[in-house]
Amino acid sequence: MWAPTHRRLAGAVILIALGALSPPGAAAADDGSDRNKDVAAARQATAQFHAVQGALEAGFQADPYCAESPAGGMGYHYFNGEKFGSTDPRSPAVLLCAPDSGGGVRLAGVEYVVPDADQDLSTDGDRPSMFGVQFDGPMPGHFAGMPVHYDLHVWLWKHNPAGMFAEWNPGLSCS
């Protein structure tokens, strides 16, 4: 009994090893290509918001608090409730704006926010993903009335040394 089981296991190990040694296939290229297309779509859709007035006219509302932690900053959040729950790269719920040297703000990134279906912090079976990256969460709402949710930060317009999809940007400061 042991030998056939051992042979099947050895065969499976060989197949896995061969797969790991094979050159990247079309699926890997498609993943990168899809990510690049989605990032380009997000950039194209949000380029109009480099001037904050455009964001306000499009229904985004400014939060006066500049988010910062020891891990870095997120900047000012501009929310659009109509886009809450969107996983369309062209339709982020939040614009992340960094203070600039002239006393204004400039677009640094975007955030996608999706409510947790069961509103239970201990489960994550409905965790969304975009750009080939899983959302952070679930987490409690950040202000009164905001539900348990998942979110994904994408630093489209300001380089993030921690990575394009990192929550905090060590290169962004509120001061």
At residue 143, the pLDDT reads: 87
* Structure confidence at residue 12 as a pLDDT band (50, 70, 90): very low
Residue range 33-51, pLDDT digits in tens? 899 999 999 999 999 999 9
Q: How far apart are CA 127 and CA 141, in angstroms?
A: 16
Nearest to 76 by CA among 60, 87, 90: 60
Residue range 14-35, pLDDT digits in tens? 333 333 333 433 344 455 789 9
Contact 126, 116 (CB under 8 A): yes
At residue 31, the pLDDT reads: 59
* Structure confidence at residue 172 as a pLDDT band (50, 70, 90): very high
Residue range 119-158, pLDDT digits in tens? 999 999 999 999 999 999 999 998 899 999 999 999 999 9
Q: What is the largest CA-CA distance in the chain?
A: 76
- pTM for the model stands at 0.81
At residue 47, the pLDDT reads: 98
Tokens of 60: 């985004």
Domain boundaries, the chain: 49-154
Nearest to 130 by CA among 41, 67, 61: 41
Residue range 63-119, pLDDT digits in tens? 999 999 999 999 999 999 999 999 999 999 999 999 999 999 999 999 999 999 999
- DSSP secondary structure, the chain, as one string: -HHHHHHHHHHHHHHHHHHHHSPP-HHHHHHHHHHHHHHHHHHHHHGGGSSHHHHHHTT-EEEEEEEEETTEEEEEEEE-GGGTT---TT--SEEEEEE-TTSSEEEEEEEEEEE-TT--TT--TT--EETTEEPEEEE--SSTTPPSEEEEEE-SSS--TT-TT-SSBTT----
At residue 32, the pLDDT reads: 77
